[in-house]
Structure 1
Amino acid sequence: MIAAHDVWMALDTLARERGLTPSGLARAAGLDATAFNPSRRGDGDGRVRWLSLGSLLRALDVLDMPLSVFAAGLEKRPLPHQGLERALEPEVAEGGMWGLPLSHLGQEGLFDRHGLPIGSAWEEMDCPFSLPPPAYVVRIDTDLCEPVLREGASVVLLPGVPVRAQDRVLLVAPGEAPWVGIMSDHPPGMIRPFDAPEGAGRPVPEGEGYYLHRIVMTTA
C-alpha cells in the first residue's frame, strides 16, 4: 500500500533531479512557496498528511511527469502500454532498470515491432527513481546531447506515451545512430537537436522500424 510519506519522497526525488528545492517546485507550480516544505507535511498529530491531488498534478506538470508514470513508480507495477505483454524479462533488482549507453542504440534486435525493448543486449542499470518495463534508461556516453545533457547523465524513456510539441524525445531505428532532441511545433513533426535553432532538425520518419519515445525524466 502506498503511504503519504512515499508520495512526498518520490516528489522530492524528482524535484532534486531537476535542481528544484521543495519551495522552488511549489513556486514553479504556482503554489505558495511553503506548500511543499517538510514543516507543512504533518497534520498536527504526528502523522504525514496526504498531498492534495490538485497540488500533485500541478507539480507533476512542472516536472513533465505523467501521473500514470508517477503512480506506477510508487506501486512498482507494470506501466500502461496498450495491453502488450512486458517485453523485458526477467525482473531487475529493486532500484534498477534495463538500459544501454546511447551509442549502443543503433544495433539490431533491441525493440519489437511495437517499439518495446526486447532481447538480451540490455544491461541492468541503477536509477534513483526506477520504473518497471516497458520503461528503460539510456546513459549518455557521447556529446550528442550537449549542452542540455552531459556525458554521464541518464534519461528514462517510456514507449507508448504520447509525444507533444516541446517534449524531449529519442528517435531510434536499427542500424542508425539515435537522435535526441526536442519535438518541434514550428515546423511540426521535426526533432530539433538541443543546440540547434528553431526550425532546424530532422523530420520524424513514418516508415516501419522507426520508434519515437518520450523522455519522461532525467538524472544527473
Structure 2
Amino acid sequence: MKRLTHDRIWSAIDALADRYGLSVSGLAKRSGLDPTAFNKSKRATGDGRPRWPTTESIAKVLDATGATLEDFTTLATAEPGTAMRNVPIPLIELTRAGAGGFFDDGGCPVGSGWEQVRFPWVDDEKAYALEVTGDGMEPLYRAGDILIVSPNAPTQNGDRVVVRTTDGEVMAKLLVGRAATTIELGTLNCDQPNFVFPLDRVEWIARIIWASQ
C-alpha cells in the first residue's frame, strides 16, 4: 500500500467532498465540525509545518457521509487523476427493484435501457443506484434520496445494505450480524426492532456505499 502522506490524506478529504457534491467547508459543517476545519489555510501551521486532520475529524466525516475507512483509504492511495471518475451508473426506483429481470443471482444489474445517474467515484463496475420512494425509511432516507450500491463490496456488521429476499422484496437495512443459518437486520427507523431472517430466504445482499441525503 502506498504511504499515507500529508498531501494524500488531505486529497482524500477533498475527494470525499467532491464525491458528495460538497465544498470542503460543506463537508466539515455536515460532519459537525467548524466550517473552516478543512480549508486550505488550515493545512499548515503559521511557520509552514504540515498540519494533519485529526482522527476524530476523519471519523466524523465517515460517520456523516456513510463512507467507510476502506473508502477513505482507497481515495488516499489512488494515483492522481484516477480516484475521481464521473461515470454513468444504472438507476432504478427502490419500490420497483423487487420486480423480476433487474438483477442476476448475485445482485448485479442486468439488461439495458436503465435510466442513469452520474457518480464521481466508484470502484465496482457493477455498482448501481436506487432511488428511495415513500417514507418507509425515514428519518435516515427520504423520498428522492439516491443510494449507490456496490454488489462486489465486502459487507460487515454495521454496514448499511440492500437485501433481496427469495420472495422478491428489496429493502435497505442495517447489517447487525450473521450466524450459521440466520442473518440479523436492523431497520433504519430506530423505533422498530431488529429482525432475524433465515439465510435461505436471502437471495443476495449488497453494501450501500453512498447516499445523497
TM tier, smaller: 0.5 to 0.7
- Which of these residues, 98, 102, 110, is aligned with residue 106 of structure 1? 98
Question: Which position in structure 2 is the counterpart of 1:83?
Answer: none
Equivalent pairs: percent with the same residue? 20
Partner of 2:186: 192
Matched, 1:124 2:116: yes
Is residue 36 from structure 1 mapped to residue 38 from structure 2 by the alignment? yes
The total of aligned residue pairs comes to 193
CA shift for structure 1 position 125: 1.5
1:81 corresponds in structure 2 to none
* TM-score for both structures, normalised by structure 2: 0.65
User: 1:104: Cα distance to partner?
Assistant: 1.4
Decide which of 14, 17, 20 is 1:9's aligned counterpart. Answer: 14
State the alpha-carbon separation in 2 of the partners of residues 94 and 15 from structure 1: 12
What CA RMSD, in Å, does the superposition of the two structures yield over aligned residues?
4.2
2:4 match: none
> Which residue does the alignment assign to 2:3?
none
Other structure's SS at 1:10 match: helix
Cα deviations by residue, 1:44-93 (Å, 9 ceiling, x for unpaired): 8x9xx89779789646643442355453797259xxxxxxxxxxxxxxx9
How does 1:137-216 map onto structure 2 within 5 Å? 137-173=129-165, 176-185=168-177, 189-195=183-189, 197=191, 199-201=193-195, 203-207=196-200, 210-216=203-209
Runs (5+) with no aligned partner, structure 1:
78-92
Q: Is the 8 A contact 1:108 1:175 kept in 2?
A: no
1:134 Cα offset (Å): 1.9
Query: Relative to structure 1, is the Cα distance of residues 39 and 98 closer, same or farther in structure 2, using a 3 angstrom cutoff?
Result: same
Q: Secondary structure at the match of 2:200?
A: coil
Amino acid corresponding to residue 199 of structure 2 in structure 1: E
TM-score, structure 1 length as denominator?
0.64
Supply the distance in 1 between the matched residues of 2:202 and 2:145 (Cα, whole angstroms).
27
Q: After TM superposition, give the deviation of residue 165 of structure 1 in Å.
A: 2.8
In 2: Cα distance, 1:196 partner to 1:50 partner: 38
Deviations 1:23-42 (CA, angstroms, capped at 9, x unpaired): 66485xxxx99652332236
* Greater strand content: 2
